[in-house]
Amino acid sequence: MSSSTIEVIGYLASALVVASFAMRSVVRLRIISMLGSVTFIVYGAMLPSVPILITNTFVGLLNGWYLYREFSGGRELGAVPIASDAPFLEDFLRSHDSDIRTFQPDFELAPDASAWLLTRDGLPAGALIGRARGDALEVDLDYITARYRDSRLGQWLFGPGSKTLRGGGITRVVATPRSAEQRSYLTRLGFVAQGEQMHRTLG
């Protein structure tokens, strides 16, 4: 293989590694970083360069391990009830306001709202806010920060993590999608359309 082709592969590997640092999502960062490592391994084998091979083999294995933990349930996820007027929740919503507005531009925190702070490995990762109507929760905001948006936190919340909601007397969740993207997201979470609303029974 020509030296120019090898050089192009090296530039591609470098571009992938740099691109990984631009990712806001942890999962995407890991995936692109792993692709960069694999490309660097190919580049190192063509040179050949043992230091490049060793370094990127370990980097690729580490990324693979973290991705395995991400999708195999090896994460500590939580949903903690929090008062709707709690200063921490207000600060969290304020700091992510511009991102929240891109999905739900009309969101307003109702004074009678029930709220849960969503956590990932002990860190704030999102918020679920709604109004209890009997045994149903009418969702006003279901938000995950960009960093954890690919971490399947929603699947956990309305699946195994729903015991937190059920502990508060909630057995059904009702959401009104405001876009086709949001409707698709709710469908993936097991919500069923009933007119303009989508419903999910918590099991």
Residues 154-180: tens digit of each pLDDT: 889 999 899 999 998 999 999 999 888
What is the per-residue pLDDT across 100-142, written as a single tens digit (0 to 9) for each? 998 888 899 988 899 999 998 889 999 999 999 999 999 999 9
Pairing of β 136-144 and β 172-175: parallel
Nearest to 165 by CA among 83, 97, 81, 94: 81
As given in the structure block, the two tokens for residue 188 are: 């993936």
Query: Using CA atoms, how far apart are residues 135 and 133, in angstroms rounded to an integer?
Result: 6
Helix (H, G, I), strand (E, B) or coil at 124: strand
Of 168, 172, 176, 169, nearest to 194 (Cα)? Answer: 176
| Contact indicator for 33, 14 with CB cutoff of 8 Å | no
Q: Taking the model in full, what pTM does it have?
A: 0.76
Give domain 77-201's CATH number out of 3.40.630.30, 3.40.50.720, 3.90.320.10, 3.30.470.10. 3.40.630.30
Average pLDDT of the residues of the chain: 91
Higher pLDDT, 1 or 87: 87
